[in-house]
Structures are given as C-alpha cells and as structure tokens.
Copies of this chain bind each other. A is one copy, B any other.
Amino acid sequence: MNLLSEKGFPEKLKKMSFDELEALCEEIREILISTVSKNGGHLASNLGVVELTVALHRVFSSPGDQIIFDVGHQAYTHKLLTGRYGKFQTLRREGGISGFPKPSESCHDVFATGHSSTSVSAACGFASAKNIKGEGGKVIAVIGDGAFTGGMVYEGLNNAGDYKNLIIALNDNEMSISKNVGGIARYLASTRTKRSYLQLKSYTKSFLSNIPFLGEKLIKRISSGASLLKEALYHSTLFEDLGFVYFGPVDGHDIKKCCEVFEAAKNFKNGPVFVHVTTVKGKGFVFAEQNPGAFHGVTKIDPDSPSAELPSEDSYSAAFGKKLTSLAESDSKICAVTAAMKYATGLNFFHDRFPKRFFDVGIAEEHAVTFSAGLAKAGLVPVFAVYSTFLQRAYDQIIHDAAVNKAHVVLAIDRAGLVGDDGETHQGLFDAAFLSAIPRVTVFSPFSYAELEDALERAVLGCKYIAAVRYPRGAEAKITNRAFIKNFTGGYSTDYNYYSAGANSLVCTYGREFAEVANAFRGQYDILKLCRISPVPEDCLKIALKYDRIYFYEEGIKKGGIGEHFIAALSEAGYAGEFRHIAVDFGLVGHASVKSSLKKLRLDAGSIFEDIGVPVNAK
C-alpha cells in the first residue's frame, strides 16, 4: 500500500472510492506519526484533520478554489496531497518544507499563516478578489474552535456575510492548544451536543407547519410572535446571526459525510456557508488522543512509548514559572495571565498553587493586556506570560491601555529571539525594538536563570509602570570558554555586567547572545552585557564612551533595536569612535535550528571570532 506515492494528487482524489480514501487516510496518519516522531512538529492537530483535508481536496479544486488554514500548523495533510509527499521527510528541517503554509513552497499554499484567527479576514480578501475579477470557485477558511477566542475572527465574520463564494470550515475539536476557554467554547459545545441539528431543524419546521392549531393561535394571539418564534427557531446560532448558512455538525472522521457536507456547501449559491465539523485532536494515535494538549507541539517522540513535551525543568519557562509562584506566596496582589499557554509558559506552577489568581483568557493577547491593565489599575499586579511573537498582537494595547493608563503590567516574554524550527511566523525578533520605543516601559533581557529570577522580582516589586522580562526558548545558554572566565574581570550591577580584559575595543550585547560573545574571545575585547536593555543604563554609556571601537551584537531586529538606541545616545554624548551593529537585519528568519540561524546571521561564537576575533589594531 503506497497510494500517496502515486502521481496526480490532489485531482486524483476525485476519482477514488471511499474505501480507497479511507486507506489513504490511514496511510497519511502513518506518515504523520513517523515523520513528526523524527522531525518534531504539530502532531495532534494534524491527526485530527486528515479526513477533513482529504474531503476538501476531493470536493474542491485547489488552487482555483483556495484553501486557507488558520494558524497553519494543521496543514501537513494538505502538503502531502499537494506535491510535497516526496519531500515530507524534510519537514521543518533547514532547506526542507515548512511546518506552516508557505506560498513560496506551492501554489496551493495561497496564504502564509502561523498566528491564530487570521484566516477569515484573508479569505474575505480572496473572495472579494474573485468577485472583482469575475472569477468562479470558492474560498475555504479552515479554522479550529480555539481560534474563535481571538477577536480578529469576529472582525472577519462581521464582514463575511456578503461573500457568497466563502466557506468557513470549523474544525471543532473542543481544544485550542490545551482546553478551550470561555463563553464561545461553551456555546460551541452546546451546538455540538445537538447531534442532528440540521435534520432536527427541518424536522421541527415541518412538524410545526403541520399543526394548524399552533399556526392559528400564533397568528391570533401574538401579532409579531410568529416571526419571533420562527426567528428563534431558525436563527439560533451565532453564525446564522452573522449571515451564514450553517451546515453541521458533521463527524470529521467520516470521510463520506465530510465529502457530502462540503459538496452541499460547494453547491450552495445564496450566501456564505459555515460548515461545522467535529474532530478528535490526535485521532488515530492513542497517546495523542488521550492527551492532545501535551502533543500539541512536540520536538521528537518515540511512537511506541512517547513521552510528551512537558515544560522542561531546565528551561527559562520553568525558572520563570517557579519564581513567579514564589513571589506570589508573599504578595497576594500578584496575578498571572496567559493566552492559552499555561504549560508552555511555565504558568502551570502558578496555576496549581494560586488558581484564583490565575487567568487563561484563550488565544486573546489584546484582551490579555487590557485585562491586565484593568487589574493593575484596580490595585493588583498582573503578570502576562506570552511568547514574543504573539505579543505583537497586543502592540496597541500596550501603548494605549497599559502605558497611557500608567498601569503596572508585567510582561513575561518567552521565546524572545530566534525560535528555530517554527520559522518566520514565530520568531521573537521585534519585541525589544517595539517595547523600548514605548514610554514608561522598562525592559530586562536576562542571560541566566538567576538573572531572570532577579529581573522578574524587580519587574514585579520594583517597577511602577510597564516592565517586561524577556528570555529565549529552551534552556539557559552556557559559557564554555574557559579563557573568558580566566581573562576577564569587571564591575557588576543588576542592570549590566562589565567584563574588562584591558582591551581598547568593546563588545556590547545582551541576553542569550552574551554566551556567543563570551565564547568567541580570549581577551581581545572588553565586554559589556546589558540586563536592563531599556532604558539603557547611563553607566553603560559612560563605560562605552571610553572606547575607540564598539561592536553591538544583538539577537533581534536591527532597525529600532537596542543597538541603535545605544549608538544614538553615544553619538549625542559625543562618541566619535567606530561602531558596528551586528543584528538581524531582516526580521523574517526562515525555519532552521537556532544554532544554524545564529551562524547564518553571523551571530554565533564562530562567526564572531571569524569576523572580529583579530582586532583591527592587531591586524
């Protein structure tokens, strides 16, 4: 059995029998499990949408019909069916195929995704373009119920009612990344339990119309009541209220039923269609089915006896989570907020200890920041733990709600800097730049766990306004260079470390990048490591002014980065020496290991030594 290796997908799907399609789905599941076991990636979410995706590609004709995957981590089956079966073993590997839809990979990936809740808006754009250009075909947004906690979906839905060529396929697995939260989740759950909703509605309709007594009574006794009743009966879902025709719910693992419902949606001409498909996250892989949250994003697993990715003890996330919990022991004002990332951010420790002061708001970073600002203005001390890349969603809220309100909101920014295999949609390269431009924000970028703990304590207890503590993904960076420890001496402050070897040139850096810098040298340069990166400590400027030559190494975007603030302040203070700023000159770094990306960006110890290891004076 090797159906996928045959040519002609996805068109070929249209001619296959349902038995063949089922066999194909089984084959796809095997490939998903074996590949993700080796390469890492999103397992449970992809296992959940195998039949849904096969059905979509059977019923519709991509790329004439355009399929947009929300978040995009569930597009593996789509990739297997659209020309990337042969390369699938390169998934998430450098130079290989991305773990997310990527237009440069295939004409079938019409829109790159990575963050949540964007698909409806993008699909509206494609649907609108079809109308303007007079093109046929449909646009399908495939979106999980978890993405419905993100407000952007509603902005899209609010504008979607007019697109008759638009289909929203809700992949309802009752999960976002872990368990879904809030009113929308409860609402979807109530819809889901009405098993034969569609049938029942038509049934009720004919039932009611067959009771003349009822009709008469209604007309007679409530003048506007009939329409009210009717409306209440036939417009009882959120989505119908928004102008959609609602089909479902349909069993998302029944390939035949999936094909039927999409066929019906395809043939429906009078409005946008909302197809509600219920799926089981991790379907077909017993470990993942039982604990899909743990298998959301995995690095590598042994498919026979997998241990899921739990927050590693040896990680910045765990260090953060434990320290915050310990701070909260002696301060009842401290609260923790997460946007659907309880485990990944290490907040599980806090949640277990202080459930009443813990808030998982769903995938809703905007709300999270403004909610935190509200908590702060009411006298509490909220700590919002969030990935750097997702904090971008709340840029305006940080300015407009937290900074303008002078709110003491603490941002614990995980995955700051390069993130590795998830690639360009997930890099945390902008936060240092955008936060440092906002008034009243203090930004710490600690190097070690100990510094993280110290910085967090200062952010929580010692700052008056917005305070951010940012740290990389994974484990503490290590200094392996013995010469560094031997040759350098220098001052220390909680805001910075200054290592002098008596050189006449200085290298400045901060965060994880310090390990690369420290590992590169044997005393050729003095080193200044910032911990408080914004505002840059005055003392650091004074130190730097003494040097003839300064290199600023930064694992973050160059334009607007800390290095630019640094040289601008130095220049205004009269610095006339040489300067070089080695940072990420282009913020959209593709998927590759962190190590490999650092090397390509000339930010790893080896490149640093190659580039400046022999100081100019010594040359």
Q: Residues of A at under 8 Å CB distance from B?
A: 66, 103, 110-112, 114-115, 117-118, 121-126, 128-130, 132-133, 149-161, 181-187, 190, 194-195, 200, 203-204, 207, 211, 213-214, 217, 221-222, 224-225, 228-229, 231-233, 235-236, 238, 241-243, 335, 356-357, 359, 361-362, 364, 366-367, 370-380, 382, 392-393, 395-397, 399-401, 403-406, 424-425, 430, 433-434, 436-440, 534, 557, 559-561, 563-565, 567-568, 571-572, 574, 576-581, 586-588
Extra contacts, 13 of them, besides A110-B378, A155-B362, A158-B367 (Cβ < 8 A), are A118-B397, A121-B401, A128-B378, A133-B380, A149-B155, A150-B155, A151-B154, A151-B155, A161-B183, A200-B222, A392-B396, A564-B568, A568-B581
The residue among A124, A155, A588 with the most chain B CB atoms within 10 A of its own CB is A155
* Inter-subunit contact A194/B122 (CB<8 Å): no
Contact of A400 among B114, B563, B576 (CB under 8 A): B114
* Inter-subunit contact B399/A430 (CB<8 Å): yes
Q: How far is the CA of A52 from the CA of B225 in the complex (A)?
A: 29
Once A364-B159, A588-B404 are accepted as A-B contacts, the answer to whether A335 and B132 lie under 8 Å apart by CB is yes
- Residues of the B chain whose Cβ atoms lie less than 8 Å from the Cβ of A393: 395-396
How distant is A325 from chain B, measured CB to nearest CB, in Å? 16
- Residues of the B chain whose Cβ atoms lie less than 8 Å from the Cβ of A243: 183, 186
Contact of A437 among B125, B366, B433 (CB under 8 A): B433
* Inter-subunit contact A122/B374 (CB<8 Å): yes
* Inter-subunit contact A377/B560 (CB<8 Å): no
Contact of A229 among B204, B213, B380, B563 (CB under 8 A): B204
Q: How far is the CA of A181 from the CA of B158 in the complex (A)?
A: 8
* Inter-subunit contact B242/A221 (CB<8 Å): no
Count of chain copies: 2
Q: How far is the CA of A203 from the CA of B232 in the complex (A)?
A: 14
* Inter-subunit contact B183/A118 (CB<8 Å): no
Once A126-B378, A564-B565, A574-B578 are accepted as A-B contacts, the answer to whether A361 and B222 lie under 8 Å apart by CB is no
- Residues of the B chain whose Cβ atoms lie less than 8 Å from the Cβ of A242: 183-184, 187
Q: How far is the CA of A395 from the CA of B560 in the complex (A)?
A: 15
- Residues of the B chain whose Cβ atoms lie less than 8 Å from the Cβ of A211: 214, 217
* Inter-subunit contact A559/B565 (CB<8 Å): yes
* Inter-subunit contact A366/B159 (CB<8 Å): no
Q: How far is the CA of A460 from the CA of B322 in the complex (A)?
A: 52
Q: How far is the CA of A333 from the CA of B425 in the complex (A)?
A: 28
Beta-carbon nearest neighbor of A135 in chain B = B378
